[in-house]
Amino acid sequence: MQKNNKSHHNPEKGDEDVISSLDLPDIEIPEIPKEVISTLKSRKKHMCIKKEGNESTPACNQASVPGMVTQRSCVYGGARVVLMPITDAIHLVHGPLGCASCTWDIRGSRSSGSELYRNGFSTDLQEKDIVFGGEKKLLETIIELNQLFKPSAIFVYATCVVGLIGDDLKSVCREATEITGSRVIPVQSEGFRSVNKSLGHQLACDALLEYLIGTETPQKKVNPPQKEGKKPLQKKRETFEKDPASEDDVLESQITSQVTNDICVNILGEFNVAGDLWAIRPLLEKIGVSIQAVVTGDSRVEEIANAHLAHLNLVQCQKSSRYLADSMEERYSIPQVRVNFFGVEETSKSLKSIAEFFNDPLMMDAAENLIEFETNRIKDAIIPYRQRLTGKKVAVYVGGNKAWSLIRAFEELGMEVLMTGTQNGLPEDYQRIKETVRDGTLIVDDANAMELARLLEKYQPDLLVSGAKEKYMSLKMGVAFCDFNHDRISSFAGFQGFLNFAREVDRAVSSPVWKYTPSINGSVFKNPLKYPFKSKTMFNAKSQRESNCKVKSESMKCKKSVKECSTKPKISPEVM
Choice between 74 and 279, CB closer to ligand SF4: 74
Residues 82-111 that bind ligand SF4 (CB under 6 A): 95, 99
Q: Is 74 in the site for ligand SF4 (CB under 6 A)?
A: yes
Among the listed residues 485, 306, 310, 506, the one whose alpha carbon sits nearest the alpha carbon of residue 397: 485
Q: Is 159 in the site for ligand SF4 (CB under 6 A)?
A: yes
How far are the Cα atoms of 73, 331, 374, 386, 409 from residue 495, in angstroms, in the given order?
32, 34, 6, 15, 11
Under 8 Å between Cβ of 279 and 344: no
Report the distance separating Cα 554 and Cα 332, nearest Å.
92
What residues numbered 26-45 form the site for ligand SF4, per CB under 6 A?
A: none
Least distance from C-beta 469 to ligand SF4, angstroms? 15
Nearer to ligand SF4 by Cβ, of 188 and 296: the residue is 188
In 239-317, which ranges are E strands? 263-270, 289-296, 312-315
Q: Is 290 helix (H, G, I), strand (E, B) or coil?
A: strand
**Chain centroid, CA 321 distance in Å:** 13
SS3 390: coil
- C-beta of 191: minimal distance to ligand SF4 in Å? 3
Q: Scanning residues 179 to 198, which ones bind ligand SF4 (CB under 6 A)?
A: 191
Give the integer Cα–Cα distance in Å for 224 and 263: 36
Our CB check for ligand SF4 shows the closer of 19 and 160 to be 160
Q: Does 200 bind ligand SF4 (CB under 6 A)?
A: no
CA separation for the pair 349, 319 (Å, rounded): 19
State in angstroms the smallest separation of the CB of 187 from ligand SF4.
11
Q: Which residue is nearest to ligand SF4 (CB)?
A: 191
User: Residue 415, interface with ligand SF4 (CB under 6 A)?
Assistant: no
What is 493-520 written as a DSSP string?
A: BHHHHHHHHHHHHHHHHT-GGGGGSPP-
CB 332, min distance to ligand SF4, A: 32
Question: What is the C-alpha separation between 478 and 415, in angstroms, rounded?
Answer: 18
User: Of 31, 32, 44, 76, which one interacts with ligand SF4 (CB under 6 A)?
Assistant: 76
405 close to 40: Cβ distance less than 8 angstroms:
no
Binding residue for ligand SF4, selected from 84, 90, 160, 233, defined by CB under 6 A: 160
**Residue 459 binds ligand SF4, judged by CB under 6 A:** no
DSSP string, 410-442: HHHTT-EEEEEEESS--HHHHHHHHHHSPTT-E
CA dihedral 48, 53, 55, 60 (to 10 degrees): -10
Q: How far is the CB of 95 from ligand SF4 (least distance, A)?
A: 6
Contact set for ligand SF4, span 123-152 (CB under 6 A): none
Phi, psi of 306 (to 5 degrees): -100, 15
Pick between residue 48 and residue 74 the one whose CB is nearest to ligand SF4.
Answer: 74
Considering the complex, what minimum distance in angstroms separates the CB of residue 72 from ligand SF4? Answer: 10
In the complex with ligand SF4, which residue's Cβ is closer, 194 or 448? 194
> What are 28's strand-pairing partners?
3
Minimum CB separation of residue 76 from ligand SF4 in Å reads 4
Q: How far is the CB of 422 from ligand SF4 (least distance, A)?
A: 19
Q: How many residues bind ligand SF4 (CB under 6 A)?
A: 7
Q: Which is nearer to ligand SF4, 71 or 159 (CB)?
A: 159
Nearer to ligand SF4, 165 or 309 (CB): 165
State whether residue 75 is helix, strand or coil: helix
String marking each residue 207-246 x if it binds ligand SF4 according to CB under 6 A: ----------------------------------------
Contact footprint for ligand SF4 (CB under 6 A): 74, 76, 95, 99, 159-160, 191
